[in-house]
Structure 1
Amino acid sequence: MSFDLFALRARKLSYALRVPLFRRALRTGVLAGVEHTYALRHLTPGLVIDIGANRGQFALLARHLWPAAYITSFEPLPGPNAICRKAMVGDERFKLFEAAVSTETGSSTINVTREDDSSSLLPLGEEHQRLYGSSIASTLTIKTDRLCAFIAPDECPASCLLKIDTQGFELEVLKGSEELLRRVQHIYAELSFIELYRGQPLASEVISYLHAKGYQLAGVFNVAHDGADRPIQADMLFSRVEKE
């Protein structure tokens, strides 16, 4: 583990220990994604769509920031999905699907990495292996469908936040969510500047796609660098532009 990553986890733990909801989640082995607080604290979504939920790190933060919001999460891997359910147990405004959002209805094979939060529907790239020492532990057949198969467009309020953390699959998720995009006010996605997964669209392509759909880049946060201080990836916030 690099010093920067160790320092980040130490800061997250310090924050989590001060919040009762986060302390409870720590008993299930989940550390809330508090690093996103600064980027999102000014938003007021009525619905949070959390695609790529893993163990519920983002869902926990969303519940802390927006106590009244509805949260719908997607995590296709059974193990992390089960942990996420435990972390969010008793939350009546939380819903979790064991599926991946895609342009395709049916099933697909996901590459499961040793540390499963790097798992992807795309093949692992050489840069990811070099930078993080990642490797594929297994493959798994998962359910895939368009977002509208789970959330009807008229169920999506104008104050909706769409969060995407899908390891290089972000553009496919967006294309599989097009029926709802006109109802989504903000999109928060982890995007890459270099190819970490083979064939993944880079940040510039996703930004261009979203610009064409009526979104502008509103902020860049949590930029990760390699040992040569080259930017690798970042969390980016997009906001829908109201047309006159």
Structure 2
Amino acid sequence: MISRTVELIYLRDLIFDLKINCVLDVGANQGQYAKELRAIGYKGLIVSFEPLAREFSNLEAAFKNDSNWIGYNVALGSLNETRSINIPKLTVMSSLLEPVVNKVKYETESVEIVRLDEIINKIGKINDGSRIFLKMDTQGFDVEVFKGAAGCMSRIFGLQSELSVFPLYKNMPDYRESLDVYESAGFALYNLSVVNRTDINSLLELNCFMHNRRHMNSSIDKLNLFNG
């Protein structure tokens, strides 16, 4: 609980430092993340993306009374396509990839996947003045979501992504590969926090928070670290 509180403080500070006024909540489930954004004082636009029909129904109920929170019943990825998603009992663990652990029981559902850089201009509340924060929590598919944002990357001021030290899904990148993709696109690491540990207390998953270097005025060589 303490670690989650600290993580939310870093998230709040990053969002306010970057003057974010639009958060893309990718992998929204029932709106838990959006509700936390409101709890830490963020009042700007939230656009939630959730591909599961049942969970999207619950999500709609969550945002119906919030005029600055909207949602789309789609998944985001690097290709416009239709795919089957694996849905375990704990639906926040639903993934477009297969679990590494074969004994996991899950249902499947056919879902629509779209590229962010193709849908973004169809979202009426997003405009040239939008300062976008891209939150991704897609159980192994974050890098694919990010690749699908290639055509609108300059509009993304910051991001949050879940990193796996030990990948839980087949063919997903580990934390080093994911960070390399984000850093190669011009993002710098702002904070890392622990999401889960293994039963022997080793790191399993991390959340990374990053800012887009092209929108930051400061750099390490401008910091007065060595002069007292």
What TM-score comes out, normalization by structure 1 length? 0.79
Give unpaired runs (5+ residues) of structure 2: 218-228
Query: 2-side partners of 1:72 and 1:158: how far apart?
Result: 12
Aligned to 2:210: 238
- Structure 2 CA distance for aligned equivalents of residues 206 and 55 of structure 1: 26
| 1:170 shift after superposition | 0.8
Displacement, 1:221?
A: 1.2
Give the corresponding residue for 2:33: 58
CA deviation string 1:20-74 (max 9, x = no partner)? xxxxxxxxxxxxx867422211122100000000010011112233443111010
Within the alignment, does 1:99 sit opposite 2:99 as a pair?
Answer: no
Alignment RMSD: 2.3
SS in 2 for 1:50: strand
Q: Which has the higher contact order (CA 8 A, sep 6+)?
A: 2
SS in 1 for 2:67: coil
Q: Secondary structure at the match of 2:10?
A: helix
Structure 1 residue 98: deviation in Å?
Answer: 0.5
Once the two structures are superposed, what CA deviation does each residue of 1:82-102 show, in whole Å capped at 9, x if it has no partner? 111112221111110000001
Tell me which residue corresponds to 1:71.
46
Partner of 1:172: 144
Aligned pair in 2 of structure 1 residues 155, 166: CA closer, same or farther (>3 Å)? same
Following superposition of structure 1 onto structure 2, how do residues 27-176 of structure 1 map, counting pairs within 5 Å? Answer: 36-42=7-13, 43-44=15-16, 45-126=20-101, 135-152=104-121, 155=127, 157=129, 159-176=131-148
1:216-231 to structure 2, matched below 5 A, reads 216-231=188-203
Distance 1:157 1:221 in 2: 30
Distance 1:115 1:92 in 2: 29
Residue of structure 1 in register with 2:185 after alignment: 213
- CA separation of 1:156 and 1:137: change in aligned 2, threshold 3 A: farther
- AA at the equivalent of 2:110: T
- Closer/same/farther in 2, CA of residues 111 and 223 from structure 1, 3 Å limit: closer
Q: Deviations over 1:84-128 (max 9, x none)?
A: 1112221111110000001111311101111111110000112xx
Alpha-carbon separation, structure 2, partners of 1:115 and 1:35: 25
Number of residue pairs matched by the alignment: 209
Q: Aligned partners of 2:129 and 2:175: how far apart in 1?
A: 27
Residue 237 and residue 96 in structure 1: after superposition, are their counterparts in 2 closer, same or farther (change >3 A)?
Answer: same
CA contact (8 A) 1:101 1:145 kept: yes
Distance in 1 between the 2:205 and 2:175 partners?
8
> What residue ranges of structure 1 are gaps of 5+ in the alignment?
1-7, 13-32
Determine the C-alpha separation between the residues in 1 that align with 2:60 and 2:38. Answer: 14
Q: Does 1:185 align with 2:149?
A: no
> Which of 173, 176, 179 is matched with 1:204 structurally?
176
TM-score scaled by length of structure 2: 0.84
C-alpha separation in 1, matches of 2:31 and 2:159 = 18
Shift of residue 158 of structure 1?
5.6
Q: Residues 173-217 of structure 1, C-alpha deviation per residue, up to 9 Å, x if partnerless? A: 100111222111110111111120011011111110111110011
Amino acid at match of 2:22: L
Would you say the 8 A contact 2:132–2:156 is kept in 1?
Answer: yes
Question: In structure 2, what is the Cα distance between the partners aligned to 1:137 and 1:203?
Answer: 25
